[in-house]
Amino acid sequence: MKTFVARQPIIDCNRSVIGYELLYRHSGSSLSFDSLDGNSASAHVISHSLFGAGLENLVTGKLAFINFTRQLLVQGIPNLLPRDSIAVEILETIHPDEEVIAACRSLKKQGYLLALDDYVHSPALEPLLQCAAIVKFDVKSTGIVRPDRHVPHFQTRGLKALAEKIETWTDFERAQVLGYSYFQGYFFARPVLVAGRQTPSLKLSQCQLLEAIQHPDLDFAKIERIIKQDVSLSYKLLRYINSVRFARSITIDSIGQTLVLLGEVEVRRWASLLLLCSLGENKTRELVILALVRARFCELLGDAAGMSDRKSSLFLMGMFSLLDALLDGNIEEALEGLPLDKDVTGALLGRSNADSRFRSIFRLVCDYEAADWAPVSRHALFLRIPEDAPAVAYTAALQWADSVLS
């Protein structure tokens, strides 16, 4: 049995990530994803967190929001995980009987954070409200309503309201006005389109660098000339090579020497990271993280699919898949004029003339991110990659993105 865990960010009013909900499925040998009852699903998330990818690798120091069923609650299963690392989500299907209430009170007393999932007001839930710190509302199915509408003195009781399935910036802003404290979804990965706004463009030196790093064999002399013409690029490259990440015994002060020491792979990654951070400097950090995860995820899937010779293009495809959100513009206009591989541009725009493997990898990455497991299975089959390759690559991409930004 293979474990597939994706994560969805939970953000506060300042657009800072406070945690991730872990979304789970498992697969059998046929690459088709089986549905599990809630007990099995939550148990496998816990097992994977403890003994598989590792909780820290999945949520990088943030809270892990994990669903717990009645059976798991009364059995004390949440105690297997550290109380300062998880939020215990109590499913809406749980009837608050005496055993459930006792289990929740015990968890609260021990310092665990409890969240009520998909809350709909009912007097029977009052004992659970007394234990909870967060109440989650599914705004897609119920609409964005005032969180205190059916709960007397909701906010004065110290309860935080979380709006689930926030899909646009408009939803986010409206939910803020109505009193929600936390917001779940990938709304920050959508562009904010404003009529008449000019789409920002890369500087000439950045465009030249982008074009240079896509050649199969890097021309270090050409890259050195590009960097030397831009003081900012030169400074950032030397800072990068002299950082703790590369722990050198000597100080490097030559652009040419730096490029040689880094090597082709690391030069491509440094240039890509520089371009991404330049584009995302006025955006929430999580958008940059998501772009990096997608970039590395695409690259690793390419390795698994026997496309190592195209890994640089696959990396850029993942990174630039969020270009519309980074620039707050139309994706087609944002890509226009950029010196990108035609397969990269074609896959991002859904064109049939792009390499079908590029299109399949891109769709797999997006579907995995959304925990839409059935198409993940189909794309993995098309790419002829092992059934556990997406899960392994996703976890590795999360770790890599976090380490790079650190």
Give the per-residue pLDDT at 33.
Answer: 38
Q: Alpha-carbon distance 152 to 143, whole Å?
A: 20
Q: What are phi and psi of 213, to 5 degrees?
A: -75, -5
Give 10-residue mean pLDDT values along the chain (406 residues): 81 94 65 50 64 74 90 89 92 92 96 94 89 92 74 74 92 91 92 60 76 84 88 80 63 78 86 81 86 95 95 90 87 81 93 94 96 92 93 92 79
Question: Cα 116 to the chain's mean position, in Å?
Answer: 23
Q: Alpha-carbon distance 293 to 286, whole Å?
A: 10
Q: Alpha-carbon distance 405 to 370, whole Å?
A: 23
Give the per-residue pLDDT at 32.
Answer: 38
12, 220, 231, 239 from 255: Cα distances, Å: 41, 10, 11, 11
Domain range list for the chain: 2-189, 204-405
Give the per-residue pLDDT at 29.
Answer: 38
Q: Alpha-carbon distance 207 to 211, whole Å?
A: 6
Give the per-residue pLDDT at 28.
Answer: 46
Residues in CB range of 403: below 8 A, 6 or more apart: none
Task: Give this prediction's pTM.
Answer: 0.84
Q: What DSSP character marks residue 1?
A: -
DSSP 323-378: HHHHHTS-HHHHHTT----HHHHHHHTT-TTS-HHHHHHHHHHHHHHTT-HHHHHH
Q: Alpha-carbon distance 365 to 91, whole Å?
A: 28
Compute, in degrees rounded to 10, the torsion defined by CA atoms 339, 341, 345, 347: -170
Give the per-residue pLDDT at 234.
Answer: 84
Give the per-residue pLDDT at 10.
Answer: 96
Q: Which CATH code of 3.90.1640.10, 3.20.20.450, 1.20.1740.10, 3.30.1360.120 fits the domain covering 2-189?
A: 3.20.20.450
Give the per-residue pLDDT at 137.
Answer: 92
